[in-house]
């Protein structure tokens, strides 16, 4: 064991500082603030910062996986690749990744890497409704599947997001999902299971934002705005179709309760078939999205708010005409005191103590 976590965090901070100096559009001050806060917390408690250099993997029996989506990975420490999230029979999420040194262009290439075990199924196809059976896999405590020499794989039937077993992920009330995410965030980083920060949401695009079925209105944001990845462009297209019903996989933004980062989406296309897209890999065009939205199967609204601190707003049922846009509540925001504190921290990170002293005076 060693101080590998603080070292890795310091490398990420150095990368983010380089992005800031070069005016990289992917730079986010909030990301730098988060990494710096984590580093300060780790060096304050060195005993808890100790960790092994490599993640441990344990052998597991035959494993049946249903692909959910594929996410391009570009880290601040100079690594890139692709990660597939898949559902196991026990209801837990597992990940299969190909990540190595490189930039955004490698993330797109890695999505074509085959699943370990010799079945010649690309990661991207597994994530796009594919299925696989692994024998003799190795799995880490956080759900990552290793590529050891003993693992073997064969293609299997996958599932649509509206079919069992995947559909169950969207049947949980948003408030319950959010509570689970907050519990996940409170756990030590090394103990967090794969996909614990994901939300599975149904709703409708409106001029005020994305109205979640059984939940609030949220803003949809891109996880990564690098031009090499099509997140931002795809979200602009989807959000511009007011009345479009979407089924989303999104990631919570802890310090931005009014928004989620959208990773994948599904909607009904021109021919009445469901379109399913990994928004960081597939570049959409206007022809992919119907100008006049047509109904998709959306679960009935669930009573209760998605955020214990904010009001709830329901949406129309699956039988309602999609052209009827529900009245949306304003997206939730941080309490004023927390928002002021966050801004002060960001100023200190960007300009140092001198800037903070000037603003305080």
Task: Please provide the DSSP assignment of 47-62 as one string.
Answer: HHH-B-SS---EE---
pLDDT surpasses 50 at 231? yes
Q: How far is 325 from 182, CA to CA, in rounded Å? A: 30
Q: Which of 45-49, 176-180, 261-265, 286-290 has the highest mean pLDDT?
A: 261-265
Minimal CA–CA distance to 97: which of 64, 131, 74?
A: 74
358 in any annotated domain: no
Q: How far is 133 from 146, CA to CA, in rounded Å? A: 14
Helix then strand then coil, % of the chain, to nearest 5: 30, 25, 45
Do 113 and 67 reside in the same domain of the chain? yes
How sure is the predictor about 80, in pLDDT bands with cuts at 50, 70 and 90? very high
Q: Which of 31-40, 111-120, 253-262 has the highest mean pLDDT?
A: 111-120
Is 164 exposed, middle or buried, given 0-12, 13-18 or 19+ CB atoms closer than 10 A?
Answer: exposed
DSSP 8-state code for residue 82: E
**Residue entry with tokens 């399913």:** 276
pLDDT surpasses 80 at 8? no
Radius of gyration of the chain (CA): 21
**In which domain, by residue range, is 164 found?**
160-352
9 in any annotated domain: yes
Do 273 and 300 reside in the same domain of the chain? yes
177 in any annotated domain: yes
Look at residue 346 in the predicted model and tell me its pLDDT. Answer: 79
Do 74 and 192 reside in the same domain of the chain? no
Do 201 and 337 reside in the same domain of the chain? yes
Do 258 and 333 reside in the same domain of the chain? yes
Look at residue 17 in the predicted model and tell me its pLDDT. Answer: 84
Interval 196-220 mean pLDDT: 94
Pairing, β 198-206 against β 245-252: antiparallel
Q: How far is 76 from 167, CA to CA, in rounded Å? A: 34
Look at residue 87 in the predicted model and tell me its pLDDT. Answer: 97
How sure is the predictor about 335, in pLDDT bands with cuts at 50, 70 and 90? low
Do 146 and 263 reside in the same domain of the chain? no
- Range from 110-124, 280-294, 347-361 carrying the lowest mean pLDDT: 347-361
359 in any annotated domain: no
pLDDT surpasses 90 at 332? no
pLDDT top residue among 212 and 361 = 212
Instruction: Indicate the helix (H) or strand (E) that contains 354.
Output: helix 353-360
Interval 318-336 mean pLDDT: 44
Buried b or exposed e, range 346-360, using 16+ CB within 10 angstroms: ebbbeeeeeebeeee
pLDDT tens profile 131-186: 999 999 999 988 999 877 889 999 999 999 999 999 999 999 999 999 999 999 88
Q: Which two tokens stand for residue 179?
A: 């509570």
Look at residue 84 in the predicted model and tell me its pLDDT. Answer: 98
Minimal CA–CA distance to 82: which of 290, 231, 346, 278?
A: 278
Do 171 and 318 reside in the same domain of the chain? yes
Look at residue 279 in the predicted model and tell me its pLDDT. Answer: 97
Last residue of a domain, one of 91, 126, 156: 156
* Sheet strands side by side (includes 152-156): 93-101, 79-87, 63-74, 131-135, 152-156
198 in any annotated domain: yes
Do 135 and 195 reside in the same domain of the chain? no
Count of domains forming the chain? 3
208 in any annotated domain: yes
Look at residue 361 in the predicted model and tell me its pLDDT. Answer: 58
∠ Cα 137 140 146 (to 5°): 40
Do 201 and 295 reside in the same domain of the chain? yes
Do 142 and 165 reside in the same domain of the chain? no
How sure is the predictor about 52, in pLDDT bands with cuts at 50, 70 and 90? low
63 in any annotated domain: yes
Look at residue 322 in the predicted model and tell me its pLDDT. Answer: 37
361 in any annotated domain: no
Average pLDDT, the chain: 82
Interval 208-235 mean pLDDT: 93
Look at residue 260 in the predicted model and tell me its pLDDT. Answer: 95
For 87, left (φ over 0), alpha (ψ -120 to 50), or beta? beta
Last residue of a domain, one of 129, 156, 183: 156
pLDDT top residue among 39 and 26 = 39
Q: Which of 9-13, 57-61, 259-263, 268-272 has the highest mean pLDDT?
A: 259-263
Whole-number Cα distances in Å, 142 to 51, 139, 193, 210, 295: 14, 8, 4, 31, 37
Q: Which two tokens stand for residue 215?
A: 């939940």
Last residue of a domain, one of 116, 137, 156: 156
Interval 98-104 mean pLDDT: 92
Do 101 and 173 reside in the same domain of the chain? no
- Range from 42-46, 132-136, 141-145, 202-206 carrying the lowest mean pLDDT: 42-46
pLDDT-above-90 percentage for the chain: 48
Q: What CATH code is carried by the domain that includes residue 104?
A: 2.40.50
pLDDT surpasses 60 at 269? yes
**Torsion angle of the four alpha carbons 214, 219, 225, 231, in this order, in degrees rounded to the nearest 10:** 40
Do 215 and 328 reside in the same domain of the chain? yes
Whole-number Cα distances in Å, 115 to 43, 133, 139, 279: 38, 10, 14, 21
């Amino acid at each position: 064991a060693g101080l590998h976590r603080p070292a890795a965090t310091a490398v990420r901070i150095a990368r983010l500082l380089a992005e800031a100096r070069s005016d990289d559009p992917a730079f986010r001050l909030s990301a730098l603030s988060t990494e710096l806060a984590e580093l300060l917390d780790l060096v304050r408690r060195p005993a808890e910062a100790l960790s092994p250099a490599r993640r441990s993997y344990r052998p597991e029996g035959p494993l049946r996986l249903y692909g959910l989506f594929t996410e391009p990975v570009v880290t601040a420490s100079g690594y890139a690749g692709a990660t597939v999230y898949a559902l196991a029979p026990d209801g837990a999420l597992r990940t299969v990744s190909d990540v190595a040194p490189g930039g955004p262009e490698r993330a797109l290439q890695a999505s074509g890497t085959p699943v370990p075990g010799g079945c010649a199924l690309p990661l991207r196809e597994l994530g796009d409704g594919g299925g696989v059976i692994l024998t003799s896999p190795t799995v880490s405590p956080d759900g990552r599947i290793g590529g050891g020499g003993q693992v073997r794989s064969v293609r299997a039937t996958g599932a649509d997001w509206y079919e069992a077993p995947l559909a169950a992920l969207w049947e949980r009330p948003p408030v319950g999902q959010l509570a689970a995410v907050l519990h996940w965030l409170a756990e030590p980083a090394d103990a967090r299971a794969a996909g614990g920060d994901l939300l599975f949401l149904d709703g409708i695009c409106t001029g005020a934002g994305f109205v979640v079925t059984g939940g609030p209105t949220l803003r949809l944001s891109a996880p990564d705005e690098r031009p090499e990845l099509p997140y931002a462009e795809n979200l602009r297209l989807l959000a511009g179709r007011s009345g479009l019903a979407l089924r989303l996989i999104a990631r919570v933004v802890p310090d931005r309760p009014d928004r989620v980062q959208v990773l994948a989406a599904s909607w009904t296309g021109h021919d009445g078939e469901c379109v399913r897209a990994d928004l960081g890999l597939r570049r959409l065009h206007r022809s992919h999205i119907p100008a006049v939205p047509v109904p998709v199967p959306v679960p009935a609204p669930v009573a209760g708010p998605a955020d214990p601190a904010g009001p709830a707003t329901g949406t129309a049922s699956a039988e309602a005409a999609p052209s009827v846009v529900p009245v949306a509540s304003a997206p939730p925001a941080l309490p004023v005191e927390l928002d002021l504190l966050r801004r002060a921290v960001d100023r200190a990170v960007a300009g140092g103590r001198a800037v903070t002293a000037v603003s305080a005076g």
